[in-house]
Chain A
Amino acid sequence: MAQIVMSGNHAQSYAAMLARVQVIAAYPITPQTTIVEKLAEFVADGRLPAHYLQVESEHSALQSVVSASALGARTYTATSSQGLLLMHELLHWAAGLRVPVVMGVVNRAVAPPWSIGADYSDTIAQRDTGWIQFYAESNQEVLDTVLQCYRIAEDPAVRLPAMVTEDAFYLSHTVEPVDVPSSELVDAFLPAREARAVLVPGVPARLGSFTGPVEYVGFRHDVARAMDRVLPTLAAVEEDFARRTGRDHGGPLPTYRTEDADAVLVTMGTATTTARAVVDRLREEGHRVGLAKLRLFRPFPVEALRSLAASVDRIGVLDRSFTFGPTGAAAAEVRSALYAGSARPLVADFVAGIGGRDITPDLIARMYAVLDGPEPPDVTWMDLAAPEARADG
Chain B
Amino acid sequence: MVALAQTGRTGAAPPAATRRRRPQVRVGRSVTLLLAAIYFIGPLGVAFWFSIHDRLHGGVRFHEYTGVFSVPGLMDSFTLSLKLAAATIVILLVLLVPTMLLVQLRLPRFRPIMETLCLMPLVVPPVVLAAGIFAVLGSGPLTSGPLATIASDLQETSLPWILALEYVILTLPFSYRAIDAGMRSIDLATLVKAARNLGASWPTLTVRVLLPPLRTALLNAGFLAFALVLGEYTLATILQYTVFSVWIVTAGQTDGQLQTALSIMSLGVTWVLLIVIGLFAGSRKGRSRSIRRRKTA
Question: Is the A/B pair a real complex?
Answer: no
Please report A residues at the B interface, Cβ cutoff 8 Å. none
